[in-house]
Amino acid sequence: MKLFTRIKVSYLVICFVPLLLMIIAVYVISTMSLNALEKQFGLSNSSLGVLYDPLKLMESVNSTIINDLEASLEEQPYLLEDESYLNEINALLQENSAFLMIKKDAEIVYSGNTENVDLSSMYINFQGDKEYYLREEAPMYVKQREFVFSDGGKGQIIIVTDVRALTPRIKLAAIQTVIVIVGILFSGATLLTVWLYKSIVKPIEELKLAAESIKNGDLDFGVEPDTEDEIGELFTAFEEMRARMKEQLEVGMQFERESKELMSNISHDLKTPITAIKGYVEGIIDGVADTPEKQDKYFRTIYAKANDMEKMIEELFLYSKLDSNSETYSFTKVNLNSYFADCIEEISVDLEGKRIDLGFFNYADKDVVIIADPEKLKRVITNIVNNSSKYIGDKKGIINIRIREEAEFIQVEIEDNGKGIAKQELPRIFERLYRTDASRNSAQGGSGLGLSIAKKIIEEHGGRIWATSKEDIGTCICFVIRKYEENKIYE
């Protein structure tokens, strides 16, 4: 349920549910009170209005006895002079907190007033049939009927009812009504408060606790949305924010670790050629290289070590630019066959002194054109070939480069016969600084960035790169790159 809908429901509950319950409660209490009054005063078929209209209630009290008395006197007027009969009627009336009085010619000839109620005001000469209150020490309701005695005299039959007899029952009904109404309002407010607390306040407190945990550095404190309203959407957004912050933190920590490892590796790899250069220079200064042949060897070694340092620094600088996406690319149309022919010729020169045979097999059409940055693509091929040559070992090396044509791409395979890569290490070889050689004192050297640089360049070309390998047999690194198509926009 949406939060706005929940507020509307709360408003309706506050306005109408207590009102409905109060109406039901008042009706039930009134019905019970009316039943009690009917039982107490011998009423029947009374309406609920008698509870709230004293006159109507008084009319109902003793109505049956009065009607019977009137009917009897019309047939037998002499009964007004029969005291035993009048006592019987009075006894019935007293059961209903009333008594009988007979007046003849303004004189009381019979009174069933056993409570000694002050009825002085009744001596006022009311004529005709009357119903009225007496507000004496105790409120009384008087019902008066005129009759003619058997001797022709005129008088009145008076029924006096003590209103105080009704007060406890009406007061009880009123108290019960007030208690029930207060109980309904309190229960409704309590239930509504609990509902709103569980659906709004409690989730906000959970979010507050989660926010404080994140503020204290605990990014593992998650929250689970259990509703589909705005609160649930807020939970979902908060959880996505927490997960992203945790991911960014982990990436940052991983980057920091890798940066430290990179610095350590670069420092180590730079230290090795620097140490060698210093040693050879000291040998020249100390006169160890005392012949032109030795001096020439020393100078060539120093030059080679300086070249290694230069390549290492260049790779580090290139990776930094690739990693920050600040390296620019110059994509252009390149004829696949002629481009690779030039690359193979240049690479072959570098491999001549390493006892490695380089083979090239182009199975694609001679006129295939690709979209690439020639310099960056050459860096990919060179890095892969150099990496293969490092791990061939002392045996006769073979590196084969094959090109295959697909519908929209060309696939390049560079395969060697080196020592291969273990299955569990294969997915990680394109990570920066990762080396399958666990020893930092290995003779291969290098920064460990060659394949990660190749991966970034290929991905920027819209391709992908992967590797397959078998231990002691060799490794094959493959990548695909898109072909040029007419009428297609390239970025």
How does pLDDT run across 230-284, given as a tens digit for each residue?
A: 777 787 888 888 888 888 888 888 878 877 777 777 777 778 788 888 888 988 8
* pLDDT tens for each residue of 102-113: 888 778 888 888
Q: What is the pLDDT of residue 435?
A: 65
Question: Where do the domains of the chain lie, and which CATH numbers do they carry?
Answer: 3-45+171-205 (no CATH), 62-165 (3.30.450), 222-325 (1.10.287.130), 328-482 (3.30.565.10)
- pLDDT value at 61 more than 70: no
The pLDDT confidence band at residue 359, using thresholds 50, 70 and 90, is very high
The pLDDT confidence band at residue 368, using thresholds 50, 70 and 90, is very high
For residues 420 and 170, the model is more confident at: 420
- pLDDT value at 14 more than 80: no
The pLDDT confidence band at residue 439, using thresholds 50, 70 and 90, is very low
Range with lowest mean pLDDT among 38-52, 180-194, 336-350: 38-52
What is the distance between the alpha carbons of residues 382 and 450, in angstroms, rounded to a whole number?
Answer: 9
Choose from 62-76, 187-201, 232-246, 375-389 the range with maximum mean pLDDT: 375-389
Provide CB contacts within 8 A for 229, sequence distance 6+: 1, 2, 3, 5, 6, 199
Q: What is the pLDDT of residue 447?
A: 60
pTM for this one? 0.50
What are the distances in angstroms from CA 244 to CA 93, 213, 262? 89, 15, 26
